[in-house]
Amino acid sequence: MSNSQTSTKGRAHSRTARLLSACVMVITSLTVVVTVACSDITHLEQSNPGQLGPGVFSPENADLIVNSSRGDFECAYNQYIVGTGLFVDELANAISQIQNFDLDRRTLTPNEPYGTSDCTALQQPGIYTPLSVARAANDTAVAHLQGWTDAQVSDRHALIGVASAYAGYSLVLLGESMCSAAINLGPEIQPPELFADAVLRFDTAVAQATAAGDQTTLNLALLGRARAELDLGNSAAAATDAALIPAGFEVDIDHDASASRRVNLVYVHTLQAAFSSVDTSIINRYLATHDPRIAVTNTGQLGSDGVTTIWSANKDATSTSPQALAKYSEAQLIIAENDANTSNLGGAVTIINALRSANGQGAFAPPTLTQAAVMAEIVEQRRREFFLEGHRLGDIRRLGLPMSPAVGAPYVSGGSYGAQSCFPLPDVERINNPNI
């Protein structure tokens, strides 16, 4: 895949910065959990102090700092894909464990692992802590870089652009997944405020990447800003940014089989540990259309529960399969959505048919061409194009789509599917944040 932002040296993949948005650090050692309050977002505990010790924040370490903070985001995104995939209709639980049931059937309580698990979690992915760590680490990198000079850090503008972009994406994902959140011991805030904060980060990233002549980061920031604007209901502004993204653009997160926090977690859940299977709604779509974007394989194996047949996603077939964060098709579907919103149905259909043709589907030809029909097809194309890429929950919330299975439907392991469509603010934030 093209334009993957990976470093060739100096990335501190073994580093684990455990910093909640409310600056509450949860340090886990075997079965002992210690909670320590902190007051400064630049206080990052390192699991590898030899690589990133107390004196790390100095100009000569600028590249290392940004590589490390970017690694924190990549780890959070890996967790996010599986956690939200289970919460919605992309993955299905295949292990007999009550907290996995709660995630899969949308009956979460605010003291569950989605709130406290870090980037080393495998069975029960973290959402809030990894994204909060990523946001804080990248914001901290930017703060230091802005205090240094170009003479001290020759690629300062490029590094500010990269860290600002990943801070922006961290905020977008918090806004798309969390019912509410808090930043730096601040008050409880709602998704629109998170998206607005993300836009500010992307504004910085666009300006700095432009100054540095860094086209990849510029496109990443433009598409991130378009996503945030779409989340805010500003489809025209989103389409303006999306129109600047060139054909073939893609930024992936990379994986490494030698580090647990960097292994492709979809692979772990489906093929290695049999914790999860691809959801039947995706399986049925693939069997009906053989769309390569949602290609799946029946492994013939049962899940850890001894009952669920495991289907795996072909796109995540190995421990090192990359995962797309931002790509040209996203830009095109943002433009198509704005076209639908502004009665340019022909423009939207052109984009839809380009995607359908590229993936073996016939032309989109509804009995009557209406805005509702076009939007329904855009939703369907997004579901296929961004399968297991962290978009589905945000789409459900943004567009008011029904949860599937339906609220109240019987759950295979007992109880029924809940009405939750977002992750509640976790207790670790609510209890330790004096402003909530």
pLDDT tens digits along 165-183 = 999 999 999 999 999 999 9
Q: What is the pLDDT of residue 54?
A: 56
Q: What are phi and psi of 225, to 5 degrees?
A: -65, -40
Q: What is the pLDDT of residue 55?
A: 77
Q: What is the pLDDT of residue 78?
A: 97
- Residue range 88-114: average pLDDT? 95
- Residue range 10-23: average pLDDT? 33
| CA–CA distance, 160 with 143 (Å, rounded to integer) | 9
In this predicted structure, the answer to whether residue 389 has a pLDDT above a threshold of 70 is: yes
Answer yes or no: are the C-beta atoms of 359 and 384 closer than 8 Å: yes
Residues 6+ apart with CB under 8 A from 148: 59, 62, 156
Which segments of 119-201 are extended strands (E)?
A: none
Residue type, 41: I
| CA–CA distance, 12 with 40 (Å, rounded to integer) | 22
Residues 6+ apart with CB under 8 A from 59: 148, 152, 153
Q: Pick the closest to residue 45 from 181, 73, 31, 37 (CA basis).
A: 37
In this predicted structure, the answer to whether residue 404 has a pLDDT above a threshold of 60 is: yes
| CA–CA distance, 351 with 251 (Å, rounded to integer) | 21
Record the pTM. 0.89
| CA–CA distance, 406 with 281 (Å, rounded to integer) | 13
In this predicted structure, the answer to whether residue 261 has a pLDDT above a threshold of 60 is: yes
Q: What is the pLDDT of residue 53?
A: 54
Task: Give the number of other Cβ atoms within 10 Å of residue 378's Cβ.
Answer: 24
Answer yes or no: are the C-beta atoms of 271 and 304 closer than 8 Å: no
* Position 63 confidence tier, pLDDT thresholds 50, 70, 90: very high
29 membership: H or E segment, kind and range: strand 24-29
| CA–CA distance, 170 with 184 (Å, rounded to integer) | 14
- Residue range 111-140: average pLDDT? 96
Q: What is the pLDDT of residue 23?
A: 38
Answer yes or no: are the C-beta atoms of 198 and 175 closer than 8 Å: yes
Q: Pick the closest to residue 277 from 82, 93, 49, 62 (CA basis).
A: 93
Q: Report H helices in 213-289.
A: 215-231, 235-242, 265-267, 280-289
- Residue range 68-91: average pLDDT? 97
Six-digit token string for 166: 């990943």
Q: What is the pLDDT of residue 320?
A: 97
Mean pLDDT of the residues in the chain? 89
